[in-house]
């Protein structure tokens, strides 16, 4: 018997009990396989989740934020503002009223003068004078509105007026108080001075 055959026999003798124990205890091998199966399932689940995530990224776009934010991004259309032109409208309206008032006075005066020559006309009647005065005022405003040069000049003035920085309510109140106090103090001062110099003058000239 050679040395190699002795070594093979020894190795076979050591490996035989392990194989016999494995064959005689099938429950242990099943337990090993059962322990290994959850790890394999977890690995498969991670791979499936990764694939689904990749499909979501490659497919439809992800939602971007809260829908309320998207609603806020859409700003409503602002209403049309008159801007400086409102001053032009106000000026023409005030001019029409002023011209109508002056025209009514002029028509009353003309009516009275005409009554002196024709007494049968009677006293001026408002139901005739007022509509005529209103028509004159409105007609004058419309006439100058359609004159491009006059309207352009009014719009330029209104544009400059819109650039003016108007004082606040507090500033106006403070300025008004200062003016009133100054006026009262000045009135009292000059009244006292008048009395004083009147008294001195009476002493000098011997007035009563």
The predicted pLDDT at position 116 comes to 84
CB 124 within 8 A of CB 107: yes
Q: What is the pLDDT of residues 91-127, one digit of tens each?
A: 899 999 999 999 999 999 998 888 888 878 788 888 8
**pLDDT surpasses 80 at 27:** no
The predicted pLDDT at position 3 comes to 57
The predicted pLDDT at position 7 comes to 66
**171 pLDDT tier (thresholds 50, 70, 90):** very high
The predicted pLDDT at position 121 comes to 78
Domain ranges of the chain: 82-164, 167-208
**76 pLDDT tier (thresholds 50, 70, 90):** very low
More confident position, 18 or 153: 153
* Counts for the chain of helices (H) and strands (E), in that order: 7, 0
**Residue 95: Cβ-neighbour burial (10 angstroms; 0-12, 13-18, 19+):** middle
Enumerate residues 6+ apart whose C-beta is below 8 A from 80. Answer: none
* Rg of the chain (C-alpha set): 54
Enumerate residues 6+ apart whose C-beta is below 8 A from 180. Answer: none
More confident position, 169 or 68: 169
The predicted pLDDT at position 82 comes to 66
Mean pLDDT of 24-38: 45
Mean pLDDT of 176-205: 94
The predicted pLDDT at position 36 comes to 44
**pLDDT surpasses 90 at 28:** no
**81 pLDDT tier (thresholds 50, 70, 90):** low
- CA 189 to CA 183: how far, in whole Å? 10
pTM for the model? 0.43
**Residue 137: Cβ-neighbour burial (10 angstroms; 0-12, 13-18, 19+):** buried
Summary mean pLDDT of the chain: 73
The predicted pLDDT at position 157 comes to 86
- CA 82 to CA 15: how far, in whole Å? 103
Lowest mean pLDDT among 39-43, 94-98, 187-191: 39-43
Lowest mean pLDDT among 14-18, 116-120, 163-167, 174-178: 14-18
């Amino acid at each position: 018997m050679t040395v190699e055959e002795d070594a093979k026999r020894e190795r076979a003798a050591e490996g035989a009990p392990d194989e016999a124990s494995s064959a005689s205890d099938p429950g242990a091998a099943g337990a090993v396989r059962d322990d290994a199966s959850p790890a394999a399932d977890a690995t498969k689940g991670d791979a499936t989740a990764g694939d689904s995530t990749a499909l979501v990224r490659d497919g439809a776009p992800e939602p971007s934020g809260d829908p309320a934010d998207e609603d806020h991004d859409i700003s409503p259309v602002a209403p049309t503002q008159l801007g400086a032109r409102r001053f032009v409208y106000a000026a023409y309206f005030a001019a029409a009223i002023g011209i109508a008032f002056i025209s009514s006075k002029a028509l009353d005066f003309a009516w009275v003068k005409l009554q002196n020559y024709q007494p049968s006309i009677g006293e001026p009647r408002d139901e005739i004078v007022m509509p005529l005065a209103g028509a004159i005022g409105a007609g004058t405003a419309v006439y100058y509105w359609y004159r491009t040069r006059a309207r352009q000049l009014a719009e330029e003035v209104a544009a400059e007026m819109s650039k003016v920085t108007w004082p606040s309510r507090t500033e106006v109140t403070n300025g008004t108080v200062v003016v009133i106090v100054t006026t009262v103090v000045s009135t009292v001062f000059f009244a006292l001075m008048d009395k004083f110099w009147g008294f001195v003058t009476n002493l000098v000239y011997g007035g009563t």
